[in-house]
Chains A and B, each alone.
Chain A
Amino acid sequence: MAPLLDIRDLHTHYTSFGGSRVVKAVDGISFCLNEGETIGLVGESGCGKTTTCLSIVGLLPAGARIVGGSIEFDGEELTTKRSPDLRQVRGRKIAMILQDPMASLNPLFSIFWQVAEPAYFHRGLRGRPLRQRVSELLRSVRIPSPAVRMREYPHQMSGGMRQRVVGAIAMAGGPKLIIADEPTTNLDVTIQAQYLDVLKEIQQQSGVALIFVTHNLGIVAKMCDRMAVMYAGKIVEYGAVRDLFRAPQHPYTRALLGAMPKLGSKQPLYAIPGQPPNLAQLPGGCAFHPRCREAMPQCRLHEPAERRAGVDWSARCWLLGQPSEEQHARALA
């Protein structure tokens, strides 16, 4: 079966100063996503996670352009679509959840209208069925007494509730894919866990696919089937969450995992030295080498190609040049 979303060698560049300065925010990304699956996009700020998402929905800011590669979604090629057709696909089949629940709702309209809008437009529901659908959606994101709550306005709700309402809006059009761009960053930790449970539940009920953008590896472990670790516009390691957590191949993945606090550990927390690179002035060779603990002379000179580390598992690192027997066996296990 063909995957729901198949991104191949996507390049999205920002050009400024009349094209004299080019920032390769997304530089050759490939991944695919099956129906009902969840993929996590992980990486530091400015590594191209959000740009990847915006490329998929076709809402890149002025100055950014997809310059190469293909995005195939549900059997349709999105990069060559014209905007009215794209709007149809987008509204009906792709929904997005953004970071700030405070800004995600229009302060002037009641919850009912905001949740009803996609259902009204994309599913043609009116009157009583529409009301029923909204109430169902709100119940599915665990908003208590939806009949009362849907008459309220965003300022009457807490941040966690608003973000759940945003989730309900995302589901209202009956999408096949939801892109969640750091949906829990602005929520309290306790609310975060609750929200993730809600998302997981929605997904199990509806079979929607999820792209989860985050820099919190704990969330990835909880939510995702597969993950793609991004660095400087490239996916440096891609594979099943379980594999990557157990035997990370790329030093960057290892560093990220090492920087995660562990309960009961007495060791000082590892911090990745330095700053994420400026995408306009990338270091030569592997972009990660100035911060890499295991950098070798050749890392400075040549960029490593994608190498397989196992089934559906790849990384861009010279260390994988000749995978040892033990590594290989572990990878296949």
Chain B
Amino acid sequence: MATIDETGASSLAIAHPRFGESRRRWLRTLRSLPLVPLIILVPFVLIAVLANVIAPYDPTMPIQGAKIFEPPCWAAGGSTHWLFGTDFQGRDVLSRLIYGARVSLIVGVTGTVVAGGIGTMMGILSGYLGGWVDQAIMRIVDAWLALPGLVFAIFLATMVGPSMWNIVIILGLVYWTRYARVIRGEVLSLREREFVKLAEIAGASRVRVILRHILPNVMNSVMVLASLTIGVVIIAEASLSFLGVGVPAPQPAWGSMLADGRSMLMVGDWWLTVFPGLAILLVVLATQLLGDWLRVRLDPQSRNL
């Protein structure tokens, strides 16, 4: 089989050298991609993007003609009209899961962007300017880290009121500190690198040095941190929604679905909690795996490990 493949490939390469080359390159990139996390994440992203197209029912309204707590289709008494069953208001669990993916991913990504933006900016300012700016920012970070993240988030959420975009900003404010710490450390070593010094000698302004020489060189770390933060942010959003201070009620979120189904676990209505729980597990796991892969890819030091 292998020999046939090889000869086929080589004759192809002779006939269409460009085609064979590009196909080989394509295969190589494919093989270097992190398949497991992508296989999990890509469907979730597609589901989230296409939620209004693929969801069979309105996630916020009870299905006409359905009873409450209908089991999923393969369980005894289930119906193929509602594949994953219905909840305590007779709403379709599958549609709620699909729309919930949208909420989780939007909050996860934008919350990470907010946290990363604030944290990276603070870290660069702290590391590059040094002196009292550094001291001030780092003491704020210390104080911030002393607060338990979730409690802080609950406090902020009850202050500003529940809404998805409020949650995004709150989680950004809770999780920026780790970026600030890591990026500051990187900038401290970067600042002493000679190309930064040469840029200063060449008359580049501070803003220019930061934008051209510092920021691009810390982007690797920012990316890795971001991929690892997404999972944390998704879990935090789910926790807030579970506690009732997250995404407000009729809007479906995995966390609030867990909360709604919790009381029915004892009765045996497992589908209310297992599906959203699984969804959270899979997405967070996949983002963490992706983060690990990114770290190895982007960090030349650990690439060969």
Contacts and interface: CB of A to CB of B under 8 A. Distances in A.
Interface of A: 57, 59, 62, 87-88, 90-92, 94-96, 98-100, 103-109, 114, 117-118, 121-122, 166, 169, 173
Contact of A88 (B130, B199, B200, B203): B203
A104 B195 contact: yes
Given A109-B216, A117-B202, 18 more contacts: A87-B203, A90-B203, A91-B201, A94-B201, A95-B201, A98-B194, A98-B197, A99-B194, A100-B194, A103-B193, A105-B195, A106-B217, A107-B217, A108-B216, A114-B195, A118-B202, A121-B203, A173-B203
A62 B193 contact: no
A170 to B, nearest CB: 8
Chain B contact surface mostly: helix
28 contacts: A59-B200, A59-B201, A91-B201, A91-B202, A91-B203, A92-B203, A95-B201, A95-B202, A96-B197, A98-B198, A99-B194, A103-B193, A103-B194, A103-B195, A104-B195, A105-B195, A106-B195, A106-B199, A106-B213, A106-B217, A108-B216, A109-B212, A109-B216, A117-B199, A117-B204, A122-B203, A169-B202, A173-B203
B201 A57 contact: yes
A169 B198 contact: yes
Interface of B: 130-131, 193-195, 197-205, 212-213, 216-217
A59 B217 CA distance: 22
B216 A96 contact: no
Contacts of B217: 106-108
Q: Which 5 A-B pairs have the closest CB atoms?
A: A91-B203, A103-B194, A104-B194, A98-B194, A87-B203
Contact of A62 (B130, B197, B198, B201): B130
Contact of B204 (A91, A94, A100, A166): A91
A105 B199 CA distance: 10
Contacts of A108: 216-217
Contacts of A169: 198, 202
Contacts of B203: 87-88, 90-92, 118, 121-122, 173
Of B197, B198, B200, B213, the most chain A CB neighbours within 10 A belong to B198
Contacts of A173: 202-203
Nearest to A173: B202
Contacts of B131: 62
A59 B202 contact: no
Contacts of A95: 201-202
A263 to B, nearest CB: 34
Nearest to A99: B194
A135 B217 CA distance: 26
Nearest to A102: B194
A90 B204 CA distance: 10
Contacts of B213: 106
A173 B202 CA distance: 8
A99 B213 CA distance: 19
A98 B195 CA distance: 9
Nearest to B213: A106
B126 to A, nearest CB: 15
A100 B201 CA distance: 16
Contacts of B197: 59, 96, 98
Nearest to B196: A106
Contacts of B212: 106, 109
A121 B199 CA distance: 12
A128 B192 CA distance: 34
A62 B129 CA distance: 11
Contacts of B201: 57, 59, 90-91, 94-96
A96 B198 contact: yes
A173 B199 CA distance: 12
A98 B216 CA distance: 22
B60 to A, nearest CB: 47
A275 B212 CA distance: 42
Contacts of B199: 106, 117
A62 B198 CA distance: 17
Of B194, B213, B217, the most chain A CB neighbours within 10 A belong to B194
Contacts of A92: 203
Contacts of A98: 194, 197-198
Contacts of B202: 90-91, 95, 117-118, 121, 169, 173
Nearest to B205: A87
A169 B131 CA distance: 31
B274 to A, nearest CB: 46
A162 to B, nearest CB: 11
B232 to A, nearest CB: 28
A96 B202 CA distance: 8
Nearest to A117: B202
Nearest to A114: B195
Of B201, B204, B213, the most chain A CB neighbours within 10 A belong to B201
A285 to B, nearest CB: 37
